[in-house]
Amino acid sequence: MRHQTKITELLGIKYPILQGPMGGGFSTPELLAAVSNAGGLGSFGAYGLTPEQILALGQDLRSKTDKPYNINLWVSDVDESLKNYSAEKLEKVKQLYKPYFDELGIPVPEPNTNIPSKFEKQVEAVFEVRPAVFSFIFGAPSKEILNEARRLGIKTVGAATTLDEGLALEAAGVDAIVASGFEAGGHRPSFLQPADQSLIGAFALVQQLKAKVKTPIIAAGGIADGQGIKAALTLGADAAQLGTAFLIAEESNATPAHRAMLLSDEARYTVLSKSLTGRMGRMIRNRIADEISYQTEVFPFPMQSQFMGQLREAAQAQGRTDLNIFWSGQNAVCIKPGKAADLMQSLIDEAFNELPDYAGHTLG
């Protein structure tokens, strides 16, 4: 199978392999650089960083790679429902979670309802850094932002969880679209319909998008090895994005407990829940996700995530995996720990090397 695609040409990379931009502190400059230096596209999930931290990140990345890389932000980083949030609702959710805080022996924190969006200022910092690629989830940036990215020579990549979202991103003028299947770990980046109404598998979504949009497509969700990459390209994707497979890499910032969970039998059991952050995401099942249904009202994002921060820290300190959050995609069965460069080489070998191309020649 040929490794030259519309995406490799567009992004200036050798192989159509992208590392998923993991937020929540999981991304590291070392992981990004290892993937980019091996010919893929390394990514950094920067939605939690201040503009100053993004500028410092840019300096660090320049010292580690001269290859193309991606910085990712959240277009919608504060839920609209946080505005005018009532004291009655606030107290109700606090009481819902109080037993978990009590069990860990820590006080229930007082949630902060005054959380402004950071996105606009973050974009300014990203443009100052000038990565080769600026990707985003939870919608499309304004026309002004996309035009400025184009002026600076920065390629833009949006994430779609449905065909309608893919069509909206193409209409906005993005350079590439991630087909984000429900198999993927982490948050579901739906933005036109609620996430629980936007559950399409990656390979079905790739084919829907391929039939209706001209923009290059990146398959994401449940892809963890070279066979998955080949399958995605065969179905019409121009690249594949892997998240959980890189989360287990030595260079990621996953905790030892998280790594152990990803390699355990528990990784076979993932759930979609909003109980720990306020937005739907795929994680390894835990007690909180089991006991607090998706229909139960919790705080809006990011208030819920901030509210639960102390509980997650206490659970980690006390070794309570049943009360912690461990992001994972549905296909962790074949992931392997090790260095990111070794993972990249195995993906390249399995997907592209020593296989006949369509003309019968061998690609090395």
Q: Which CATH number fits domain 1-78+115-254+337-364: 3.40.640.10, 3.40.50.300, 3.40.50.720, 3.20.20.70?
A: 3.20.20.70
pLDDT of res. 334: 86
The mean pLDDT value for 61-74 works out to 98
Q: What is the pLDDT of residue 363?
A: 42
Cα–Cα dist 89/237, whole Å: 44
Q: What local confidence, expressed as pLDDT, does residue 354 receive?
A: 57
Closest CA to 155 of 280, 31, 239: 239
Residue extents of the structural domains in the chain: 1-78+115-254+337-364, 82-113+255-333
**pLDDT above 90 for 120:** yes
Residue 359 confidence (pLDDT) above 50:
no
Q: What percent of the chain has pLDDT over 70?
A: 97
Q: Average pLDDT, stretch 207-216?
A: 98
Asked if residues 96 and 292 have their Cβ atoms less than 8 Å apart, the reply is: yes
Spatial neighbors of 116 by CB under 8 A, at least 6 apart, are: 78
pLDDT by residue (tens digit) across 297-328?
Answer: 999 999 999 999 999 999 999 999 999 999 99
- A 10 A CB-CB count for 293 gives 10
In the predicted model, is pLDDT for residue 98 greater than 50? yes
d(CA 323, CA 275) in angstroms, rounded, equals 11
Q: Which helix (H) or strand (E) segment is 219 a member of?
A: strand 217-220
pTM of the entire predicted model: 0.94
Q: Using CA atoms in the order 237, 133, 116, 138, what is the torsion angle rounded to 10 degrees?
A: -10
Examine the pLDDT at 360 and tell me if it is beyond 70: no
- Mean pLDDT calculated for residue range 246-258: 97
